[in-house]
């Protein structure tokens, strides 16, 4: 069975638990006792609770493996109620060295290099802090007399952090995987201004947002409720019915899997005739701090977070149905969906890491799984690597040819492979005249 990747959050460490997210449900199909076997061969007794959608009793495992926030567990089902778990510990970044020039103090600041309506390029760099000369009473304080001109590198870019938007999850308690807080020297990187510092940033072994998807969407959230619901529907594959009186219905046209969600934008809307229309799930829009009587709630903060998650990675009505069914859709639900999105993005990041490892050798050369694993380090396990190599051996990639003894022939260089794939995709795109709705089933 294919391994499942689970990113550890702070609540997981505090409670010694593991949340059964949507993509993990098939891995843990029934409630009851189970055993986790770590990479040292030690066995850990755990309890699977399908009603609360969690696995408990992992505190000893987390402690034995010295795991922390954003570390990863690779979970493989060995037999019913027995699982192999491999821990992937992300290295901590070393602290920035303190440099001084001629005794002048320095500090690390974020400097905006360039900015467009969609992308802001930021560099972390050390700048000299100019000494502050106290002004005695009676002295001139005009800008031209206060102090000599300083270089561009000495100008403090203080407005940068205030200009960036903050996602609702950043201030709503449990908000998915938390980033490492230790700074490290780094080269220039592109940061999509839609996501704050707490969003997953691309790393060789971690989540990698795709620039193409981000570029096709707006960088600002719609402000009106109807606009937000329409944007969510567009991104996730629902149809919308505006029933009037502050009532909107999201419809998932999935054939036998079809369902609908009725949403009241105001408390008064639940008293209108429009609210009596047919729907599978009903929710009332409100603030995160509000707990109105009546139907389950959909909080405005969670709605905004859902839109941002859907912009970051594809989400479908199938992914979201379990959350509507569970009742209220609030920031706790949004945090769970964030973890699901992180898992999707991590899979793409792993695939990219394997391609970059293969790019280190020329076409018509032979490599082995062991050699690639050594290049990739602990970020990718053998199960993931084998699955990706099998995918690259099939159409439309056909980049690898399997050989006996776990070897692979690289048929074409990775650069040429990506160019050919881009041409292939562009040719197919030109032949698609009427794009089909994502997730729609034709019956």
* pLDDT number for residue 418: 93
Counting residues of the chain whose pLDDT is more than 70, the rounded percentage is 67
What's this model's pTM, rounded to 2 decimal places? 0.48
- 338, containing H or E segment: helix 331-358
Decide: 114 and 123 in contact? Cβ < 8 Å: no
Give the whole-angstrom CA distance, residue 99 versus residue 21: 46
Chosen CATH of 360-431 out of 3.10.450, 1.20.120, 1.10.3470, 1.10.10:
1.10.10
* Domain range list for the chain: 4-88, 106-131+140-201, 225-342, 360-431
Class at the top of the CATH hierarchy for domain 4-88: mainly beta
For the ranges 45-49, 124-128, 343-347, which has the lowest average pLDDT?
124-128
* pLDDT number for residue 220: 52
Decide: 368 and 376 in contact? Cβ < 8 Å: no
4-88 shares its CATH topology with 360-431: no
Q: pLDDT tens, 92-126?
A: 444 444 444 455 555 555 555 444 444 444 555 55
Q: pLDDT tens, 139-194?
A: 444 444 444 444 333 334 433 333 344 344 433 444 444 444 444 444 333 333 33
Decide: 7 and 342 in contact? Cβ < 8 Å: yes
CA-closest candidate to residue 69, choices 177, 194, 230: 177
Q: pLDDT tens, 277-309?
A: 999 999 999 999 988 888 899 999 999 999 999
DSSP 70: T
Q: Is beta strand 32-37 parallel, antiparallel or unpaired with respect to 82-88?
A: parallel
* pLDDT number for residue 93: 45
Q: pLDDT tens, 395-419?
A: 999 999 999 988 999 999 999 999 9
Fold of 225-342: Trna Endonuclease; Chain: A, domain 1 (3.40.1350)
* pLDDT number for residue 369: 87
Cβ-Cβ contacts under 8 Å for 331 (sequence gap 6 or more): 168, 169, 172, 173, 174, 175, 288, 299, 301, 302, 305
């Amino acid at each position: 069975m294919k391994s499942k990747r689970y990113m550890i959050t702070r609540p997981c460490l505090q409670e010694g638990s593991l949340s059964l997210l949507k993509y993990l449900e098939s891995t843990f199909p029934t409630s009851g006792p189970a055993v986790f076997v770590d990479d040292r061969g030690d066995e850990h007794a755990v309890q699977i609770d399908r009603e609360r959608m969690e696995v408990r009793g992992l505190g000893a495992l987390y402690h034995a493996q010295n795991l922390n926030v954003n570390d990863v567990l690779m979970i493989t089902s060995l037999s019913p109620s027995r699982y192999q778990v491999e821990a992937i510990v992300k290295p901590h970044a070393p602290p920035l060295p303190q440099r001084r020039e001629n005794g002048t103090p320095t500090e690390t600041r974020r400097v905006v290099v360039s900015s467009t309506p969609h992308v802001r390029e930021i560099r972390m760099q050390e700048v000299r802090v100019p000494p502050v000369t106290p002004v005695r009473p009676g002295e001139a304080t005009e800008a031209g007399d206060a102090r000599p001109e300083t270089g561009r590198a000495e100008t403090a870019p203080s407005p940068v952090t205030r200009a960036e938007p903050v996602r609702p999850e950043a201030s709503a308690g449990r908000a998915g995987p938390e980033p490492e807080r230790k700074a490290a020297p780094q080269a220039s990187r592109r940061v999509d201004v839609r996501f704050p510092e707490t969003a997953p940033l691309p790393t060789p072994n971690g989540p990698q947002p795709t620039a193409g998807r981000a570029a096709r969407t707006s960088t600002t959230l719609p402000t009106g409720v109807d606009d937000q619901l329409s944007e969510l529907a567009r991104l996730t594959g629902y149809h919308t019915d505006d029933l009037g009186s502050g009532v909107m219905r999201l419809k998932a046209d999935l054939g036998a899997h079809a369902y609908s969600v009725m949403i009241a934008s105001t408390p008064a809307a639940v008293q209108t005739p429009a609210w009596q229309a047919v729907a599978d799930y009903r929710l009332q829009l409100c603030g995160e701090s509000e707990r109105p009587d009546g139907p389950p709630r959909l909080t405005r903060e969670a709605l905004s977070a859902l839109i941002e998650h859907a912009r970051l990675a594809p989400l479908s009505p199938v992914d979201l149905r379990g959350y509507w069914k569970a009742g209220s859709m609030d920031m706790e639900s949004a945090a769970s969906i964030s973890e699901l999105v992180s898992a999707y993005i991590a899979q793409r990041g792993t695939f990219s890491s394997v391609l970059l490892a293969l790019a280190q050798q020329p076409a018509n050369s032979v490599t082995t799984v062991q050699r690639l694993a050594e290049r990739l380090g602990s970020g990718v396990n053998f199960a993931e690597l084998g699955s990706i190599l099998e995918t690259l051996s099939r159409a439309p990639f056909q980049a690898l040819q399997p050989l006996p003894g776990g070897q692979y022939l690289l048929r074409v260089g990775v650069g040429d492979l990506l160019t050919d794939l881009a041409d292939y995709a562009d040719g197919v795109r030109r032949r698609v005249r009427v794009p089909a709705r994502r997730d729609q089933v034709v019956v």
